Copies of this chain bind each other. A is one copy, B any other.
């Protein structure tokens, strides 16, 4: 079955919420409330005991719905799910999200049988199922939201170019809430739940052609169909970065997975090898997953591992060097020619070597001119800059000047070199960091995290070169990301 079929999960014109409830304490109430908050299509409630819920017309059964909806969201007690799914099939509904829990994850024979039953029904009617036991789908662009958390206690992120797939619903929701606070935009979020049908491989493959998605992030505990998973990576990683947070690295973690989702975590060495061999990038925690994703969402891959560190603070330059070298990046000595060029534009007390330390006495132009020399030097493949926005000589205009000169240097050079930033600081610094991100320069709260993000851009660049798709990716990045920025 082609993954094109999945499109309807993200851009439905009509949705039925089966199990919509008038009782505000019920999942089926909050779910409907969240859905109608921003979804512009047609929404129907299915509930035999109501005429209308939250202003949405209710129908006693799926059969009585006035149309064959694009998507049914099922939130009824688990024992009722099979018959509801059967009704969907009879009605002709072909996409279903099952929120209800009480299946395989129980670990009981009853739960397992119930899940087998819904798989049988889905196959019989060619219904594609997301779930069961999941939070479903959130798509900011279309306003689709099948989650049932109270928006008093969490926020939802805006539209952006990062897709996020999570096997854990709670973790997925926490990440959405975090992303909203961090200002990270999401293209599509899918909570996989028990993945009785649609799994990570389907979604990875689908997202390849999704124009709203630049980078794919995934949290998984285990993969059931290894061959299918590898196929999806082979198809997608030459064109879009796939970053995976796979838990169960430790024996104890794997044991915990067995009791959490019932997935077989499998040998971590095998996962690690598969990720490396098929170009997926592995993250070892939530912060790392999204640090890398943010870098890909704004910056091009690096053509090599030689980086320049451009800093206002000497200590941060040293720490950034340690972190970069430990990751396998190179912080090379620059040629005499470049050192001399840098010396000419920097303060006498500055260090024109690499890391380039413009010092705390620097003014905006020292950072800007040094960056330009580095970009044009041909001696580095990426830049980690560490502005100190509180330094006395740094003005409120630094970010604008830096980005505008960066753009000029790129134009003259004819190609892009990734630039990521690190900023430790407080409120004012965060305002300036946000400004830089609005202009496409990702800013991380520590040099270690910035170095890891830059490392990911290098690793993926190396993978693209191996695949022979580096130039294609770069062309697409320039067209879809770089040229679309409003500056």
Residues on A close to B: CB < 8 A?
A: 27, 30, 101, 105-106, 148-150, 152-155, 166-171, 173-175, 177-178, 180-181, 219, 221, 245, 247-253, 255-257, 259-261, 284-287, 312-319, 321-323, 325-326, 331, 349, 351, 353, 355, 357, 360-361, 388-392, 423-430, 445-449
Question: Min CB distance, A429 to chain B, in Å?
Answer: 6
Taking a contact as CB atoms closer than 8 A, the residue among B155, B171, B449 that contacts A316 in the complex is: B171
Chain B proximity of A150: nearest CB distance (Å): 7
6 pairs from A and B in contact (CB 8 Å cutoff): A150-B392, A154-B425, A154-B429, A248-B322, A253-B321, A256-B351
Q: B286, A426: Cβ atoms under 8 Å?
A: no
Does the CB pair B315–A168 fall under 8 Å?
yes
Q: Which of B171, B318, B360, B448 is the one whose CB lies under 8 Å from A424?
A: B171
Q: Please state if A448 and B284 are interface contacts (CB–CB under 8 Å).
A: yes
Contacts of A360 in B (CB 8 A): 169-170
A30: nearest chain-B partner, CB-CB: B392
Q: Are A256 and B321 in touch, CB under 8 angstroms? A: yes
- When the two chains form their complex, are residues A167 and B427 in contact, meaning their CB atoms are under 8 A apart? no
Given contacts A181-B426, A259-B353, contact A390 B173 (CB under 8 A): yes
Partner of A317, one of B181, B260, B322: B260
Determine the residue in chain B with the shortest Cβ distance to A423. Answer: B174
B260 adjacent to A321 (CB under 8 Å)? no
Residues of B within 8 A of A314 (CB): 168, 170, 256, 260-261
Q: Is the CB of A390 within 8 A of B260?
A: no
Give Cα A219 to B196, complex, Å.
51
Contacts of A173 in B (CB 8 A): 388, 390
Copy number in the complex reads 2
Could you tell me if A427 and B148 are in contact, using CB atoms closer than 8 angstroms? no
Q: Are B430 and A286 in contact (CB under 8 A)?
A: no
Residues of B within 8 A of A177 (CB): 390, 424-429
> How far is A149 from B425 in the complex, measured between Cα atoms in Å?
13
Residue in contact with A313 in the complex, picked from B171, B322, B392, CB distance below 8 Å = B171
> Is B390 a contact partner of A318 (Cβ separation < 8 A)?
no
A168-B313, A427-B155, A428-B153 given; A257·B318 CB < 8 A: yes
Q: Are B253 and A445 in contact (CB under 8 A)?
A: no
Give the docked Cα–Cα distance between A286 and B316 (Å): 10
Complex-state Cα separation, A221 to B168, whole angstroms: 42
Partner of A174, one of B180, B390, B427, B449: B390
- In the complex, what residues of B have CB within 8 A of residue A175's CB? 424
B149 contacts A392, CB within 8 Å?
A: yes
- Chain B residue nearest in CB terms to A316: B171
Quick one: which of B178, B221, B321, B392 contacts A426, CB cutoff 8 A?
Answer: B178
Q: Is the CB of A315 within 8 A of B391?
A: no
Chain B residue with the shortest CB-CB distance to A265: B318
Give the residues in chain B near A27, CB-CB below 8 Å. 392
Q: Which residues of the other chain, B, contact A423 by a CB distance below 8 angstroms?
A: 174
Chain B residue nearest to A251 (CB atoms) is B325
The answer to whether A170 touches B325 (Cβ under 8 A) is: no
When chains A and B are docked, how far (Å) is the Cα of A77 from the Cα of B338? 31
Q: Do A446 and B286 form a contact, CB below 8 Å, given A154-B425, A390-B149, A424-B175?
A: yes
Known: A181-B427, A247-B319, A249-B326. 14 other contacts (CB 8 A): A101-B349, A101-B361, A170-B314, A174-B388, A177-B426, A178-B426, A180-B426, A255-B353, A256-B318, A259-B351, A260-B314, A286-B447, A287-B448, A287-B449
Q: Which residues of B contact A105 (CB under 8 A)?
A: 349
> What residues of chain B lie closer than 8 Å to A287, measured between beta carbons?
445-446, 448-449
Residues in B with CB closer than 8 Å to A428 are 152-155, 177
Per the bound structure, the CA–CA distance linking A168 and B426 in Å amounts to 18
Check if A426 sits within 8 Å of B260, measured CB to CB: no
**CB-CB under 8 A for A424 and B178, given A285-B447, A313-B170:** yes
| Residue contact B317 to A256, C-beta cutoff 8 Å | yes
Q: Which B residue sits closest to A111, measured CB to CB?
A: B349
Q: What distance in Å separates the Cβ of A208 from its nearest Cβ neighbour in chain B?
A: 25
Question: Does B154 contact A316, Cβ atoms closer than 8 Å?
Answer: no
CA of A447 to CA of B251 in the docked complex: distance in angstroms? 17
